[in-house]
């Protein structure tokens, strides 16, 4: 039975562990987790939305420019935060990544809807679908990955965990 009991390990031992670092599936998970909200963001900022805001997005009097600027700022802050936490091996990486994947895509649609951007409702629906897909794939990986736990939280599986999975040494026939 899988119980996934995690125990703290020494930082020096974690740094020397073969699973320590950003390798294996983790770079792909990072790329997908950034690409999902990016796709939703660009879907929401279609040409119609940019034309509605006008040529100068920083003009506060242009309709929709505030929502577009705020959405851009939120998107950039969330994406940069996740990447910085990943490269610095910070212990807040996993929770920040889960929040980034689950909340950012629908929030992009909600903010654009609040700003009166055309097609924002479909962006919200796309955002919910992307958030669900990211959480069910990348989120499950982040929760179960031994590499993520060793690298970011300095934790490893408890001794004897998954012992049934390891190959049993067979007695030599004698």
Reported as a pLDDT band with limits 50, 70 and 90, residue 49 is low
CB 5 within 8 A of CB 78: no
Mean pLDDT of 155-170: 56
Q: Which of 3, 2, 6, 1 is nearest to 157 (CA)?
A: 6
Partners of residue 157 on adjacent β-strands? 6
**Following DSSP, what letter does each residue of 91-148 receive, concatenated?**
TTHHHHHHHHHHHHHHHHHHHHHHTT-TTHHHHHHHHHHHHHHHIIIIIHHHHH-HHH
Predicted local confidence at residue 145, as pLDDT = 82
CA dist 127 and 37 (Å) reads 7
Predicted local confidence at residue 161, as pLDDT = 53
Predicted local confidence at residue 130, as pLDDT = 93
Predicted local confidence at residue 59, as pLDDT = 59
Condensed to tens digits (0 to 9), the pLDDT of residues 122-158 reads: 889 999 999 999 999 988 888 888 778 877 876 776 6
| Domain regions of the chain by residue span | 29-157
- CB atoms < 10 A from the CB of 39, how many? 14
- What sign does the CA torsion over 96, 138, 113, 47 have? positive
Predicted local confidence at residue 55, as pLDDT = 52
SS3 annotation, 47-100: HHHHHHHCCCCCCCCCCCHHHHHHHHHHHHHHHHHHHHHHHCCCCCHHHHHHHH
CB 44 within 8 A of CB 69: no
Partners of residue 145 on adjacent β-strands? none
Reported as a pLDDT band with limits 50, 70 and 90, residue 1 is very low
Tokens of 53: 């805001």
Predicted local confidence at residue 149, as pLDDT = 80
CA dist 7 and 106 (Å) reads 35
pLDDT at residue 5 greater than cutoff 60: yes
Predicted local confidence at residue 144, as pLDDT = 82
Report the alpha-carbon angle 155-160-164, nearest 5: 125
Instruction: Please tell me the pTM assigned to this model.
Output: 0.72
3-state secondary structure of 169: coil
Condensed to tens digits (0 to 9), the pLDDT of residues 70-129 reads: 888 889 999 999 999 988 888 898 899 999 999 999 998 888 888 777 778 888 999 999
Predicted local confidence at residue 171, as pLDDT = 47
């Amino acid at each position: 039975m899988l119980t996934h009991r995690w125990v703290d390990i020494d930082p020096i031992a974690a740094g020397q562990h073969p699973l320590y670092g950003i390798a294996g599936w983790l770079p792909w998970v990072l790329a997908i987790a950034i690409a999902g909200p990016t796709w939703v963001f660009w879907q929401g900022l279609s040409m119609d939305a940019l034309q509605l805001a006008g040529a100068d997005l920083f003009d506060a009097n242009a309709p929709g420019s505030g929502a577009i600027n705020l959405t851009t700022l939120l998107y950039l802050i969330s994406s940069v935060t996740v990447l910085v936490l990943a490269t610095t091996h910070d212990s807040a990486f996993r929770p920040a990544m889960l929040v980034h994947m689950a909340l950012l895509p629908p929030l992009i649609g909600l903010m654009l809807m609040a700003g009166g951007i055309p097609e924002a409702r479909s962006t919200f629906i796309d955002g919910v679908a992307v958030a669900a897909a990211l959480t069910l794939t990348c989120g499950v990986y982040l929760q179960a990955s031994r590499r993520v736990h060793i690298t970011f939280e300095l934790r490893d599986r408890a001794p004897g965990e998954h012992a049934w999975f390891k190959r049993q040494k067979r007695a030599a026939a004698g």
